[in-house]
Structure 1
């Protein structure tokens, strides 16, 4: 992993008066150091925070952080060929201080590793109160044997996507995609243009008008999706937003299912065609029963964002 940000940042902060400070940022493959210095500042250097981390050391005029990129609530985002770790240097002053509170962005940028593919980190939900679940989602190669070498797909080609949940020391789990939509932004915003892929609690609606389909399961804890590259947002960065659910394999119903549409056959349940009647609601509204509260820590769902990927149309 090669760091493209190895720098010294200079800035001027406006507080009660002018505060001239110097910040040195040194990004390594798995950690970074940051030094904030101001020989004339009246700031209380013990009040600096880098994300959730306190200073490694400080003097009356200098603050030093030496932290791992997996710590301090660093945010990880892949955009194009860059892998960015972002955080905030925050100063929280007392009400009577001459130096007002301020926040400064901190970014470490790296070349995207060739073997990197999206993954969900630091899960916060557990199964029936038994340890944490770890969810994964990624764009795969054609036979789902490893991560894709490219995230650019011609219009009409198939995009292999695999989601999974680690179930070590857990009872058997069934991995489901409850909802997936495509958007042009890594976060969903009011008024965003969306392309529905999976809706209605597990209905692969895109399969009604394309070659999109769920692939036969190899493990209950994995779900493979072949998604036909769509015309939505051609030549733009596309992000796929999904809700991933881990569930009891014996607890399928209208609200917990994986259904896709087969031409000349209609809706089919991926995991047991004999119970495809659970998919009948896909053309209407699948009624939801009362869900467990995710805030309580007993939830089995996780939000995931996959991308960016690009769909090209060489005929246009």
Structure 2
């Protein structure tokens, strides 16, 4: 019998999955993809895919196509044309110009090493030095510090005062637009209403909320899924060489993703087709079932292909 939540679907729901093409999808990224997909589909909404390739220094050749092929193998089909950040520089330049017109941009010559030596939070050293903006990193004067916000999974999220007030980078010294700027510009342009992603982005969300305010746009609602970790504080990631999920036998990993998200699937579910597995998950999914923890530790059961999960406190 279905245990679908009785809450009505969100009207005009638009969600997205936004991987970086720095390597193949691993189990942690599969959880984010499945979680965002189920949340969109259970609300009768649209699910978009955006390839976040703005940081070209981290892009691995062929990774974007591999990610899309993997999503299709897992039955996760997107509803609109895939967007690539490297094809949207005009949008980011226009957004930057809006902030420049508000006289909220200044050039910064401080190195990462210098900022790290001062505690890791930029202290506004260059704000009044009037450096030329040509060939410089650009920072945004923080006008709307966010100290707390409500997350649909993690509850009340707080950030430090120093982080909330930091003038963060919106364009790098190498000329690349910074993540905080482009992700907000993309979400505005694509009309994203809900962002379901990993809890490693809880702190950056505070900055993104402040930028939505600065640009006078409504922000999406955020739901940060628990991170899949090999041990406390050590998330599965491409940088940590997490193994890629397989394309030729997707059902076991898909079942494990359902379990990770709190759906309590029966092992016999793998006997169904991929589409029917996803239909079952859509019918049984709700945000309330997702574990309210920041991390879930994964360990492999030597007697089974399925991983074991240990919920970790926030």
TM-score normalised by structure 2 residue count: 0.24
Bigger Rg, which one? 1
Decide which structure has greater strand share.
Answer: 1
Decide which structure has greater helix share.
Answer: 2
TM-score normalised by structure 1 residue count: 0.24
Name which structure has the greater RCO, CA cutoff 8 Å, separation 6+.
Answer: 2
